[in-house]
Structure formats: C-alpha cells, structure tokens
C-alpha cells in the first residue's frame, strides 16, 4: 500500500506500507541516491515472518517531493519524526542504509529515539562520511567533489560508475540496470545537495546519545563506507553489536540478503 504524508508545506513524502496489521514494525530509510525500492528483497520476505515494513522515499528521491532547499540531516530527521507521529508508530525498529543510516542516527540524537525501540545501521555513512584533519577514514572530500561534478554534468554516467563500486559480488546486467534506474528517479538537484550533506556533516557527537540496542551490519569489502566506519560506530555506540558481511560491499542488503534478513529478524525478536 502506497500513500503520501505531508511533512511541511509543499513537501509530501511517499510511503510504502506492507503488512500494516502486523504487531512488529520496521521503518526503512534508504541510501543515496536510491529510494525505498532498494529494499525489495526485505519487503518480500520480512512481512512473511510477521513484520510490518514501511519504506520511506526521502525528500528528493523516488516518488517524494523534490523541494529546492532543505536537505540537511536535521531536516530529513524532522521528516522521519512527522512520519512516525502521523502513523502513530510505537516501539519500532528503525533501519538506515548508508545516508539513510546517517539520517537515522541524527533522528535518534535530535529526538532522543522517540518511539524507536531498536536501531539497525547497515553500511551507514557515519561517524563521518569524509576524511577530516582529525578523522583519517572514509572517502576523501576530493572524491565527493568529483561525484558532484559528474552529477551536474553527466548524472547517468555518474550513477553507472557509482553502481560499479556499490556491489562486491557478481550481479546480472539486468539487476545493474534496475538498480541504476532507481538512482535515476531521484531529482538531480537533490542528488547533488545530499552529496554536499554527506561531505559536510559530522555525526560523532550524535552517536554516544543513542540509548537503544543497535545492530551494525557492514560489508567487509565496502568501498563507499569502509568497514572501519562500522568498527568505529561500534566503539561510539554503547549498546551495539557489529556483524560483518564477509562477502559484501556496500550492497549487503542484496549481496547477502538471506543473512541480512536473518540478522534483522533475530535482532528484533
């Protein structure tokens, strides 16, 4: 079931709600620059196990509105708060992948984990996505700036190049085309603005404030958010568990989808 939720004047966020009568709810936040459909192989399996799965298209992505401004983690966390309150969700599991993980972390800090019982961070773009003078991990600012240049000059080629390093394992040509098509449904402007957010934001102060059990899932071969970021999040978040995906890159939700789904179900139950 798909519908829209108004989060502010002129901005409507698209929601996919599967198995809404289930007692246990999982809210999924996708990564850059895809949309909720990247979790197809969670949405067709986890509801069978009795979970309500809610997918969000972040502003500027998928079927959601694409405003000209407001693509900070704060604003996207505010959108998540409106969605949770509008749907009257309680005791949910919040799952964020890549930039979606960063948004989930900011939500937990900004709203003190409002109505979130458990948190899952999958290949999250945290503690910081880019290298800093006091943080020698992650992606270089120069690489992000080059992605920005490609986004503004040849976005289809940028998406193709990005998808080439997104997954570690072999993918069919059809799957690659499908995944790239998800990324190209995004607004070009939102794609660029969220790259700037990824480049410039810092979540190190947010992580210690997370007070719920947290499952960190991270691919050992991740070329976008290196595995060391998962290790650092595990250090920063007190009640956290780190699970390595030995055969995955950034796309662990698909590359080891059975393990991914099993770890989530085990964590929730």
* Tens-place pLDDT, residues 177-220: 999 999 999 999 999 999 999 999 999 999 999 999 999 999 99
pLDDT per residue over 116-163, tens digit each?
999 999 999 999 999 999 999 999 999 999 999 999 999 999 999 999
Helices (H), 133-256: 141-153, 155-166, 173-184, 188-200, 227-236, 252-255
Is 97 catalytic? The answer is no
Q: Which of 138, 159, 152 is nearest to 34 (CA)?
A: 159
* From 98, 163, 187, 248, the catalytic residue: 98
Looking at the predicted structure, is the pLDDT value of residue 1 above 90? no
Mean pLDDT of the chain: 97
pLDDT confidence of residue 224:
97
Surface-to-core class of residue 76, CB atoms within 10 Å of its CB (0-12 exposed, 13-18 middle, 19+ buried): buried
Is 206 catalytic? The answer is no
Cα(237)–Cα(215) distance, integer angstroms? 10
* From 57, 78, 206, 222, the catalytic residue: 222
Mean pLDDT of 34-38: 98
Is 72 catalytic? The answer is no
β-strands 51-56, 11-18: how paired? antiparallel
Whole-angstrom Cα Rg for the chain? 17
**181 contact partners, CB below 8 Å, separation of at least 6:** none
* From 36, 97, 234, 250, the catalytic residue: 250
pLDDT per residue over 41-96, tens digit each?
999 999 999 999 999 999 999 999 999 999 999 999 999 999 999 999 999 999 99
pLDDT confidence of residue 169:
85
Q: How many CB atoms lie within 10 A of CB 242?
A: 17
State whether the Cα torsion 145-151-156-157 is positive or negative: negative
Q: For 123, left (φ over 0), alpha (ψ -120 to 50), or beta?
A: left
User: CATH number of the domain at 2-268, please?
Assistant: 3.40.50.1820
């Amino acid at each position: 079931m798909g519908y829209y939720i108004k989060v502010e004047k002129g901005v409507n966020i698209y929601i996919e709600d599967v198995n809404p009568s289930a007692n246990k709810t999982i809210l999924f936040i996708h990564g850059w620059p895809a949309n909720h459909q990247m979790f197809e192989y969670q949405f067709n399996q986890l509801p069978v196990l009795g979970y309500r799965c809610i997918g969000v298209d972040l502003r500027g992505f998928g079927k959601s509105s694409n405003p000209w401004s407001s693509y900070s983690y704060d604003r996207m966390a505010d959108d998540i708060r409106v969605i949770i309150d509008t749907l009257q969700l309680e005791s949910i599991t919040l799952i964020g992948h890549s930039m979606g993980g960063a948004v989930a972390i900011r939500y937990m800090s900004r709203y003190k984990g409002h109505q979130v019982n458990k948190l899952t961070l999958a290949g999250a773009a945290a503690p910081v996505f880019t290298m800093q003078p006091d943080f020698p991990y992650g992606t270089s600012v120069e690489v992000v700036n080059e992605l920005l240049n490609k986004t503004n000059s040849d976005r289809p080629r940028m998406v193709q190049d990005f998808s080439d390093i997104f997954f570690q394992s072999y993918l069919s040509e059809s799957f690659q085309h499908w995944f790239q098509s998800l990324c190209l449904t995004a607004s070009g402007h939102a794609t660029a603005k969220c790259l700037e957010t990824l480049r410039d934001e810092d979540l190190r102060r947010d992580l210690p404030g997370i007070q719920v059990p947290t499952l960190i899932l991270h691919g050992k071969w991740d070329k976008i958010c290196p595995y060391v970021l998962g290790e650092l999040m595990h250090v920063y978040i007190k009640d956290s568990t780190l699970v390595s995906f030995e055969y995955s890159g950034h796309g662990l939700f698909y590359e080891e989808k059975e393990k991914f789904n099993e770890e989530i179900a085990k964590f929730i139950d």
